[in-house]
């Protein structure tokens, strides 16, 4: 065995033993660096006579090639091993359910609004919205509540002090102005619901200055009170998830509907607990009626051609009736214990097929 063979075996053994890229680099420098052992051997070729050089040249170069190839191969091995170790360490099993429970909950009002949107979407209703800072005209006048009408006083309106000269601004007192905006911006037939925040200067156990309503509006040709009744019955059955639902329509008065009806749902208080169904007792749930011809005309449609019905109800109240909450003010206290108890999981998306209250 020549010295070259011995040196090669030694370097190749060091390369094979290098356990990290840094260790391999030290071996490389010691052999192939400026003052490395292989470099030193190659330098001696210059001082040799031609005969000795032609014998030593191929041997030394063979050594250099063997070391270079072994370094490259070991480098790839180490890199592959490092990558594999990292892939194993960072492995994520995407099929596992989320390990951490979501910290927050969906507020019952949001959940009920989603339930309502789901139920009415199935009946072909789109969701419409309007501004919470509303003009006096949209909130009152166009809805057949002229200046001096007693209904204005009943609404405990918040007026905006800095209103522009062309019209007073209010915080909308109900979602009904969305009816007006929809009729003015869309050609009939119209089928919409409009959930949202409304404001009245009122505060006690059953009233908060901000609360939530949902409005419904249908405008088409030949719409009658029968369509209204069927729609409300279908809605109440789906919302409370009971088939045995009795509705009672009581004559009432709203300036923007004629005739106007208030709708009660049959319920019972057996055992002190409210359950929807039967007709032992009655619970008022919404206001509705046939849209007043004056409202249709104010929105630029011909009441001789287009009729419709509308309804409006409190979302907070619907949530309380369905999920058994008793104090409205707790809805807005942001008490985490209450939210944990009454809130819904973010995965609990209401669908008709799974039951909107699932």
Minimum CB–partner distance for residue 262 and ligand DAH (Å): 8
Residues lying near ligand DAH in the complex (CB under 6 A): 174, 176, 215, 254, 257, 287-289, 310-312
CA distance 166 to 163: 8
Q: Residues, the chain, total? A: 358
Angle between the N-to-C axes of helices 108-122 and 315-323, in degrees from 0 to 180, rounded to the nearest 10: 100
H helices, E strands: number in the chain: 12, 10
Query: How many CB atoms within 10 Å of residue 35?
Result: 9
- Longest CA–CA span in the chain (Å) reads 124
Least distance in angstroms from the C-beta of 329 to ligand DAH: 20
CB nearer to ligand DAH: give 74 or 174.
174
Cβ distance to ligand DAH smaller for residue 157 or 176 = 176
- Exposure string (b/e) for 70-96, b if CB count within 10 Å is 16 or more? bbeebbeebeeeeeeeeeeeeeeeeee
> How is 228-243 classified by DSSP, letter by letter?
HHHHHHHHHHHHHT-S
CB-nearer residue toward ligand DAH: 105 or 260: 260
Residue among 130 and 287 whose Cβ is closer to ligand DAH: 287
Minimum distance from CB of 130 to ligand DAH (Å)?
13
Q: Which is nearer to ligand DAH, 111 or 176 (CB)?
A: 176
Q: 99 is written with which tokens?
A: 């390990």
**Closest CB to ligand DAH among residues 234, 268:** 234
Burial 20-31 (b: 16+ CB within 10 A, else e): eeeebeebbeeb
Nearest distance from residue 352's CB to ligand DAH, in Å? 24
CB of 283 to ligand DAH, least distance (A): 16
Residue nearest to ligand DAH (CB): 312
**Closest CB 226 distance from ligand DAH, rounded Å:** 16
């Amino acid at each position: 065995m020549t010295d070259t063979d011995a040196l090669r075996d030694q370097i190749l053994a060091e390369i094979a033993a290098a356990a990290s890229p840094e260790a391999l680099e030290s071996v490389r420098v010691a052999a192939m660096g400026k003052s490395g052992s292989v470099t030193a051997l190659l330098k001696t070729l210059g001082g040799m006579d031609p005969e000795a050089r032609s014998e030593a040249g191929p041997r030394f170069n063979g050594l250099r090639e063997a070391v270079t190839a072994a370094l490259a191969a070991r480098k790839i091995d180490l890199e592959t091993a490092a990558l594999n170790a990292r892939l194993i360490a960072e492995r994520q099993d995407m099929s596992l359910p989320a390990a951490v429970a979501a910290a927050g909950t969906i507020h019952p009002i949001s959940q009920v609004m989603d339930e309502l949107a789901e139920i009415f979407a199935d009946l072909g209703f789109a969701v419409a919205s309007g501004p919470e800072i509303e003009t006096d005209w949209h909130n009152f006048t166009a809805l057949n509540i002229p200046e001096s009408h007693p209904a204005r006083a009943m609404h405990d309106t918040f007026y905006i002090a800095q209103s522009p000269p062309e019209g007073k601004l209010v915080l909308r007192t109900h979602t009904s102005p969305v009816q007006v905006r929809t009729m003015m911006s869309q050609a009939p037939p119209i089928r919409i619901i409009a959930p949202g925040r409304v404001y009245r200067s009122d505060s006690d156990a059953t009233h908060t200055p901000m609360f939530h309503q949902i409005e419904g509006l249908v405008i088409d040709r030949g719409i009658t009170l029968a369509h209204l009744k069927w729609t409300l019955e279908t809605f109440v059955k789906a919302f409370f998830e009971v088939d045995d639902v009795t509705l009672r329509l009581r004559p009432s008065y709203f300036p923007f509907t004629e005739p106007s009806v208030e709708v009660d749902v049959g319920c019972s208080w057996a055992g002190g607990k409210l359950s929807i169904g039967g007709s032992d007792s009655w619970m008022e749930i919404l206001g509705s009626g046939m849209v007043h011809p004056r409202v249709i005309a104010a929105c630029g449609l011909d009441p001789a051609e287009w009729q419709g019905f509308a309804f409006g109800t409190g979302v907070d109240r619907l949530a309380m009736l369905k999920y058994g909450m008793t104090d409205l003010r707790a809805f807005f206290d942001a008490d985490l214990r209450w939210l944990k108890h009454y809130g819904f999981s973010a995965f609990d998306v209401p669908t008709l097929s799974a039951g909107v209250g699932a």
